[in-house]
Structure 1
């Protein structure tokens, strides 16, 4: 394990609570899941506060993928303990590859979040359309029932009108017979 080196400043700005990121891009999380938790390593390394120092992964441009130790409370008044876990940096090719992969993961994560938001919006719109369609279907069914009832009542009304006319004719016929019997 090497002591703190000149890469300190670039790594400090890249890690936020163990979730490395590039502050300029608005990302502040590690593009890959840690294989082990920041405190799940052995042998333990202790900071000046006498607490086990978490081991983080740097995602800075200068030291991508390089691991380091820092005081667990360094952002909340802890000590200034900081040291590299890995000796030296990687080759320029591997460094650039890690940066490109990091950026691609962040871009895909952003795109995934945007797609999820779009999907949620589309789903909400679809649910509203479905609700409207169900309401329309219910109203159409109710209208069809009312039209059927009107048709049935219209048929009954015609029957009753015909029966009323027959009754009037029968009454007039009876009256004619009665009047004819009175005058004969």
Structure 2
């Protein structure tokens, strides 16, 4: 029993959004067109042959086989190969063309399912990778914050210990190696999705493998690089002329060149897409592994640097503590000496106070002696006065004696 192809719906077939096509819009591919959405208009019936030869659109050009990427992901359809403003309007699902083989359709659809599963796996990997990047970004920020805090503390201590050299002010403190706080792959926004699409005048290269790819102008097509969010770093061919003069030719570098056999081309295209998705999944996984490896190395370096700085800080703090303990010991000894001096001073003061008391007592004794001497002097003065009086009396007696003697001798009359 053959496997039915994805059914088309009004959302699928009538001119789907630009994001649907592998080459549909400026946001998705280097060439802007409505070529993604398969829709058969009544007036634009395909010119096809009963065999498996290529389909011809209303323009008379071979219809381009495209992979849908929007509402019917990885379903093949044919579209007018011209650009957005020059299309004839021809669009048709691959399994709605004439002479369709159910077995061939089933094979294509099975590979389409594999493509869907691979794309889902890619989306899951990218989501998990994004979550891990976010956690890694926070962890790196936290480690750098700790490093910054330790560096600041260490610089502050060293600047306080070591005076600034006036001839070279920058010599004070410490110079540290600065670790990057974040890397592009760890940013919350993926680096792929920020790159602009390369313009036709932008990067280009020749293709030794497919040097005979010819555009609608008959010129050798130029290989360029797409940098869109949906097709990052993907090469494509387009017209070698400048943008305003280009024809509408476009072809992805990694898609097989049409052979003219529809079945072969359809199988080649969907198979190459599956291979591309598988390679993309493997590439993302490998990039993720490299990111983890780089982060583990960087994290180890950050931890080592943090550990080294903490060890240095601890050593300096320990040395400062030892010096402070030594200072405390010296201060304690000085205090003991000061206490001894205070005690000696106190004893001296007591002795001085004793001497003062003795001096005071001696002074009192001296004052007493002086008083006694004064009293003795007064007494001596009194005695002297008495002696004088006695002398005077004696002198008077002597006079009286003389007078008496004279009187007795008769030379003078007697005294009354």
TM-score interval for Structure 1 and Structure 2 normalised by the shorter chain: 0.3 to 0.5
Give the structure-1-normalised TM-score: 0.44
Give the structure-2-normalised TM-score: 0.24
* Structure of higher CA gyration radius: 2
Larger relative contact order, structure 1 or 2 (CA cutoff 8 Å, min sep 6): 1
